[in-house]
Amino acid sequence: MKRILVLTEVELPSDFPGQVEHYLDNLVTVEVRKTNFEGLKSQFRDVRRGQIKADELLDYLEPRVRNYEGFDKIVLVIDDDGYVQGLNFVFGVAKIGGSLALVFTKRLRGEQTLYHTRILKEVLHELGHSFGLDHCPNPRCVMYFSNTITDTDRKGPGFCERCIAKLHTLIR
Ligand SMILES: [Zn+2]
Ligand SMILES: [Zn+2]
């Protein structure tokens, strides 16, 4: 059983850990802790763009959180906007097979239930990458690449049959 720690700046519903576990077919256990990333955000903010340099933050933090308290994966839910070189913005970032995932919530905001569902989808998507999944061509699958928030609203939170089967071989 893989252990996932979600560190979040956004208040998440009490069933959030159970939701993540459910959509990952209970191959994982999830713990959520509320925190803030003010220091990190000011350190990695591109002042001109007003956004967080997501790839640089990921590269900086990944080796520092590896095996943190015995967790297999760490997810940071950052209440801000992120970008990577060459893209106007990203909803999240994670490396294929990495141990850290970042999710940025600024462009996910909306009515509360919708907001929480969007965060759930992006957390599952980035975790999918961290467990080794690539993007999926099925627009209903949570591993579909979201270019816009409309893509995010159409997909998931579930993994398609092919992706969930692959996850079972990847997670153990
Ligand atoms: Zn992706
Ligand atoms: Zn899929």
Give pLDDT tens digits for 14-67.
999 999 999 999 999 999 999 999 999 999 999 999 999 999 999 999 999 988
Given a contact cutoff of 8 angstroms between Cβ atoms, the answer to whether 4 and 29 are in contact is: yes
Strand order in the sheet with 2-8: 28-34, 2-8, 73-78, 100-104, 92-94
Distance 134 CA to ligand 1 centre (A): 7
CB-based contacts of 59, cutoff 8 Å, min separation 6: none
pTM for the whole structure: 0.97
Question: β-strand 82-83 against 51-53: which pairing, if any?
Answer: parallel
Which ligand neighbours the alpha carbon of 166 most closely? 2
Collapsing DSSP states into helix, strand and coil, what is residue 83? strand
* Active-site residue flag, 69: no
Q: From ligand 1's centre to the CA of 145, what distance in Å?
A: 5
Candidate list 9, 21, 122, 126, residue with the active-site label: 126
Residue 161 CA to ligand 1 centre (angstroms) = 18
How confident is the model over 118-128, as pLDDT tens digits? 999 999 999 99
User: Which DSSP category does 90 fall into?
Assistant: B
Burial status of residue 85 (CB atoms within 10 A of its CB: 0-12, 13-18, 19 or more): exposed
Give strand pairing partners of 33.
7
Summarize pLDDT for 62-105 with one digit per residue, the tens.
Answer: 999 988 999 999 999 999 999 999 999 999 999 999 999 999 99
- Helix, strand and coil in the chain, % to nearest 5: 40, 20, 40
Helices H / strands E in the chain, number of each: 6, 8
